[in-house]
């Protein structure tokens, strides 16, 4: 059988400390109607990246609501995950010529077929996340369950050959879920389309309230000078996150703000074979400057440490070129830290009001915005407060639970 991630239970009542009665009452009403429903999410890795981050908080809350929720993780070898990383990039518009070769397609088919045999199918609803396990539905012989496919990336302009390979599998699902309307790829008509943005858990170890002074002390232990300003990007080691652009932003900003420091905090996931190569290239560049620090989940920087970095930073950057949503933007804003971010994908959803002035395209523009915030700390504090309120109203976990329960209710009739 596929691995099931071991998780506990989380109660909804805790969220009444931060959220209004109307939303939580809606969640409870939906959960009451669906009590006992068997739900399973399936993805490619139990750690690293946004999907694992979401599910680690989402599944326990579903269980606390009386839903029999599980999380299963597929298996795969390096060949399979090299193929699926190519497909993941192709959904975001990168050319992926190998998908036109039969051996590439066969590697994808064979692994999904094998995983389908090991999948526990005893659920009412199965939600499959991203392209890695997409073909599970095709190879499943159980026709009783409802199936939904969740695409977490900006798939508005996918590589044509890759999309033509994937679309027959998508059309076998009962529903397809995207973060934004504009992410729905061309020619997709058959499944029920649902739009729902991701969300963060304010009570996870990554997002609970920490004192800024304590965070700065902790960062001092990691080699940053707590008495000098520092900027931060938290992301996977991925070209779409433009880490080298962030380093250039730092270098330009440091010309205006002497003593500036940069921290790049990344994570590795089992389904991302490109990450090590990117990590090595980033290190090679960062090693030229003692004020550039690179950390990862394999070098002692877990969720609590990421919380400290995001809380203690003077400015958080998320200079993505392509972005499905960017949970790290919501995480930073929830902590009251101002963000300068790429004007890409789902990021503008999170940067409302005056924060939209800090959506950037170029390295030069990003550096200018960062310097402006570093020179005007009162403005940075105001924008942080505004950002926190926007995240509170729109992007906390119970809202996502409500959206998915509403979809499940429609699918179940």
Pairing, β 315-318 against β 125-129: unpaired
What pLDDT sits at residue 49?
83
Do residues 404 and 175 make contact, with C-beta atoms less than 8 angstroms apart?
no
Residues near 251 by beta carbon (within 8 Å), at least 6 away in sequence: 289
| Domain 3-199+396-412 matches domain 212-394 at the CATH topology level | yes
- Listed in sequence order, the DSSP H helices in 34-154 are 50-64, 78-91, 102-118, 136-139
Q: CA 163 to CA 167: how far, in whole Å?
A: 6
What pLDDT sits at residue 149?
98
Do residues 262 and 293 make contact, with C-beta atoms less than 8 angstroms apart?
yes
Do residues 30 and 97 make contact, with C-beta atoms less than 8 angstroms apart?
no
What pLDDT sits at residue 35?
97
What pLDDT sits at residue 298?
85
DSSP codes joined into one string, 256-271: HSTT-EEEEEE---TT
What pLDDT sits at residue 87?
97
**Interior CA angle at 132 toward 129 and 136, to 5°?**
80
What pLDDT sits at residue 224?
95
Q: CA 378 to CA 383: how far, in whole Å?
A: 9
- Return the closest-CA partner of residue 18 out of 398, 410, 407: 398
**Interior CA angle at 34 toward 184 and 177, to 5°?**
5
Task: Delimit the domains of the chain by residue range.
Answer: 3-199+396-412, 212-394
What pLDDT sits at residue 191?
93
* Domain 212-394, CATH: 3.40.50.2000
- Return the closest-CA partner of residue 261 out of 313, 307, 297, 212: 313
Residue ranges in the chain modelled with pLDDT below 50:
none
What pLDDT sits at residue 51?
94
Query: Between the CA of residue 57 and those of 11, 199, 306, 376, 402, what are the distances in Å?
Result: 11, 10, 16, 35, 14
What pLDDT sits at residue 267?
86
pTM of the model: 0.95
Residues near 151 by beta carbon (within 8 Å), at least 6 away in sequence: 91, 130, 131, 176, 177, 178, 179, 183, 324
- Listed in sequence order, the DSSP H helices in 133-264 are 136-139, 160-170, 212-221, 243-256
What pLDDT sits at residue 269?
82
Find out if CATH 3.40.710.10 is the number for domain 3-199+396-412. no
- Return the closest-CA partner of residue 270 out of 24, 22, 82, 6: 82
379: enclosing H helix or E strand: helix 377-394
Do residues 126 and 43 make contact, with C-beta atoms less than 8 angstroms apart?
no
Give the chain's count of helices (H) and strands (E): 15, 13
Q: Which two tokens stand for residue 162?
A: 């890759």
- Edge-first strand order for the sheet with 339-342 is 292-296, 261-266, 230-234, 315-318, 339-342, 359-360
């Amino acid at each position: 059988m596929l691995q099931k991630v071991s998780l506990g239970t989380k109660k909804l009542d805790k969220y009444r400390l931060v959220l209004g009665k109307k939303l939580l009452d809606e969640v409870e009403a939906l959960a009451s109607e669906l009590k006992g429903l068997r739900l399973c999410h399936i993805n490619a890795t139990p750690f690293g990246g946004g999907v694992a981050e979401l599910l680690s908080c989402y599944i326990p809350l579903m269980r606390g609501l009386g839903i029999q929720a599980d999380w299963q993780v597929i298996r795969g070898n390096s060949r399979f995950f090299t193929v699926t990383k190519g497909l993941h990039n192709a959904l975001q518009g990168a050319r992926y010529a190998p998908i036109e070769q039969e051996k590439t397609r066969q590697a994808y088919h064979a692994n999904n077929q094998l995983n389908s045999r090991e999948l526990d199918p005893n659920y009412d609803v199965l939600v499959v996340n991203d392209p890695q396990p997409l073909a599970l539905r095709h190879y499943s012989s159980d026709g009783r369950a409802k199936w939904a496919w969740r695409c977490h990336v900006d798939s508005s302009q996918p590589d044509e050959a890759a999309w033509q390979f994937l679309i027959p599998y998508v059309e076998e699902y009962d529903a397809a879920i995207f973060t934004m309307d504009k992410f729905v790829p061309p020619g997709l008509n058959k499944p029920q389309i649902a739009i729902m943005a991701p969300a963060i858990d304010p009570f996870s170890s990554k997002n609970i309230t920490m004192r800024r002074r304590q965070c700065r002390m902790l960062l001092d232990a990691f080699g940053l000078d707590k008495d000098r300003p520092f900027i931060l990007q938290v992301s996977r080691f991925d070209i779409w996150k433009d880490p080298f652009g962030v380093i250039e932003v730092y270098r330009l900003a440091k010309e205006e703000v002497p003593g500036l420091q940069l921290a790049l905090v990344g994570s590795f996931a089992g389904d991302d074979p490109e990450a090590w190569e990117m990590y090595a290239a980033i290190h090679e560049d960062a090693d030229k400057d003692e004020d550039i620090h690179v950390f990862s989940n394999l070098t002692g920087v877990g969720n609590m440490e990421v919380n400290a970095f995001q809380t203690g930073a003077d400015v958080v950057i998320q200079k993505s070129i392509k972005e499905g949503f960017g949970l790290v933007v919501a995480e930073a804003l929830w902590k009251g830290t101002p963000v300068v971010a790429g004007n890409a994908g789902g990021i503008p959803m999170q940067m409302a009001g005056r924060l939209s002035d800090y959506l950037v395209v170029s390295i030069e523009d990003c550096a200018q915005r960062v310097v402006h915030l570093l020179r005007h700390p009162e403005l940075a504090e105001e924008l942080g407060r505004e950002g926190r309120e926007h995240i509170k109203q729109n992007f906390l976990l119970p809202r996502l639970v409500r959206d998915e329960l509403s979809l499940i209710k429609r699918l179940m009739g």
